[in-house]
């Protein structure tokens, strides 16, 4: 459920609480033998499979039944401006001061940027997952108190899956918003094109607004065989407001005749044809295991490697395939998660 601009909700044992403001923190250690307090700062919001799956995986990987959790939702799909992100990040940091957690777990880049990176070099342990930018870009490389899991898209595998579905795909158009996390993703895509000698990257279009995105999709109908969707959360309408990503994907389904891929399972539920998705569960599991090594085994966070998860999850939207007139082989359907319908078309 989206959060209002006037408040941010965090959850404790399912109860909504309110926080505001920010003050500096001197890190504290948990009393010996006490249940650890974990503050989870989501860049995005809940309910949403990507964020909820990371958190579920984290708790499974940590495997401490008595751990006490609070969750703070930055909701950057809605709070997308630099000023709004800074404001909600400050609110999260104030919660750190007020609640005094034993460890901060952040998911995705904005929470790392606006929360954990502010504690780099202190003694408060921080663990992250779902991060696209490099540790150097976040300014946390070498920080002794930060460990985490990088999110690297399964680009080559996703294109290979798409070409198994529709072998005529050769020309790829990359389209997305101007989110700061996308330059390293685009750089990896460009580098990995060498592993796809049968394919060509014909265009990369990034745009701040929905109108520009629509034009980019229209332009690719005659110049590309498939679209690679990147960010669609920060596309502005004519009033400068974010267009809901569900509406963006509905428009694509209704106006594009090109097969498409993205890298996250929620996109497939909203109409992207196929993806070998980054597993939100694997991201969270890996982060939880890092947290366990820190809290239980006493390992220094900075001594743990910051690596991406490698296990992808193939997903196909059969309804989108039917809409495009594509017959998907049964062997592909048996080896992938199959989605039917479009989430935006279902009753709220």
The radius of gyration computed from the CA coordinates of the chain, to the nearest angstrom, equals 20
Say if residue 3's pLDDT is above 90. no
What are the angstrom distances between the C-alpha of 237 and each of 35, 220, 248?
A: 47, 21, 11
- Average pLDDT (125-141) is 95
Alpha helices in the chain (DSSP H): 49-62, 82-99, 109-114, 135-138, 155-165, 182-192, 210-220, 245-255, 265-269, 280-295, 318-323, 330-334
Mean pLDDT for the chain overall: 90
In this predicted structure, what is the pLDDT of residue 348? 66
Tell me, yes or no, if the two domains 9-151+280-308 and 155-278+312-345 fold the same way: yes
- Average pLDDT (296-309) is 95
Domain-wise residue ranges, the chain: 9-151+280-308, 155-278+312-345
Phi, psi of 228 (to 5 degrees): -105, 110
For strands 337-339 and 312-317, give the pairing: parallel
CA distance 315 to 1: 25
Q: What is the CATH number of domain 9-151+280-308?
A: 3.40.50.2300
- Average pLDDT (282-293) is 97
pLDDT tens digit string along 259-277? Answer: 999 998 989 999 999 999 9
CA distance 90 to 79: 13
Range with the poorest average pLDDT among 10-24, 59-73, 103-117, 322-336: 10-24
pLDDT tens digit string along 25-78? Answer: 333 444 555 799 999 999 999 999 899 999 999 999 999 999 999 999 999 989
In the chain, what percentage of residues exceed pLDDT 70?
90
181, 164 in Cβ contact below 8 A? no
Helix (H, G, I), strand (E, B) or coil at 198: coil
CA distance 165 to 160: 9
In this predicted structure, what is the pLDDT of residue 180? 86
Give the closest residue to 336 by CA, choosing from 268, 253, 256, 288. 268
pLDDT tens digit string along 201-249? Answer: 999 999 999 999 999 999 999 999 999 999 999 999 999 999 999 999 9
Fold for 155-278+312-345, please state it. Rossmann fold (3.40.50)
In this predicted structure, what is the pLDDT of residue 33? 58
Confidence of residue 258 (pLDDT cuts 50, 70, 90): very high
In this predicted structure, what is the pLDDT of residue 94? 97
Residue 35 DSSP code: P
In this predicted structure, what is the pLDDT of residue 17? 30
Neighbours of 16 (CB within 10 A): 10
- Average pLDDT (1-19) is 33
pLDDT tens digit string along 175-207? Answer: 999 988 899 899 999 999 999 999 999 999 999
CA distance 42 to 108: 7
Higher pLDDT, 294 or 32: 294
Q: Under the phi-then-psi rule, with left for phi > 0, alpha for psi from -120 to 50, and beta for the rest, what region is 83?
A: alpha
CA distance 228 to 275: 10
With a threshold of 0.85, does the pTM exceed it? no
């Amino acid at each position: 459920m989206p959060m209002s601009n006037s408040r941010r909700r965090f959850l404790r044992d399912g109860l909504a609480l309110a926080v505001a403001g920010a003050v500096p923190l001197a890190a504290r250690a948990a009393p010996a033998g006490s249940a650890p307090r974990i503050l989870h700062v989501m860049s995005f919001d809940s309910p949403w499979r990507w964020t909820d799956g990371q958190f579920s995986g984290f708790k499974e990987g940590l495997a401490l039944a008595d751990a006490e959790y609070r969750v703070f939702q930055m909701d950057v799909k809605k709070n997308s401006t630099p000023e709004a992100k800074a404001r909600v990040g400050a609110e999260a940091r104030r919660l750190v001061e007020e609640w005094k957690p034993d460890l901060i777990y952040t998911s995705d880049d904005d929470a790392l940027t606006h929360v954990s990176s502010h504690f780099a070099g202190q003694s408060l342990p921080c663990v992250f997952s779902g991060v696209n930018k490099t540790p150097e870009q976040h300014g946390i490389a070498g920080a002794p108190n930060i460990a985490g899991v990088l999110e690297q898209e399964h680009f080559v595998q996703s294109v290979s899956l798409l070409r198994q579905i529709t072998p005529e795909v050769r020309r790829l158009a990359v389209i997305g918003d101007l989110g700061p996390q996308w330059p390293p993703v685009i750089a990896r895509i460009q580098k990995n094109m060498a592993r796809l000698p049968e394919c060509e990257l014909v265009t990369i279009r990034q745009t701040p607004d929905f109108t520009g995105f629509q034009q980019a999709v229209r332009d690719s109908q005659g110049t590309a065989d498939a679209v690679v969707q990147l960010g669609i959360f920060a596309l502005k309408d004519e009033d400068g407001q974010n267009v809901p990503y569900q509406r963006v994907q509905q428009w694509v389904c209704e106006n594009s005749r090109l097969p498409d891929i993205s890298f996250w399972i929620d996109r497939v539920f909203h109409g992207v044809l196929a993806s070998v998705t980054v597993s939100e569960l694997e991201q969270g599991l890996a982060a939880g295991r890092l947290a366990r090594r820190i809290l239980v085994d006493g390992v220094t966070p900075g001594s743990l490697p910051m690596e991406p998860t490698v296990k992808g999850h193939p997903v196909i939207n059969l309804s989108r395939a039917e809409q495009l007139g594509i017959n998907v082989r049964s062997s592909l359907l048996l080896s992938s998660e199959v989605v039917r319908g479009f989430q935006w078309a279902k009753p709220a």
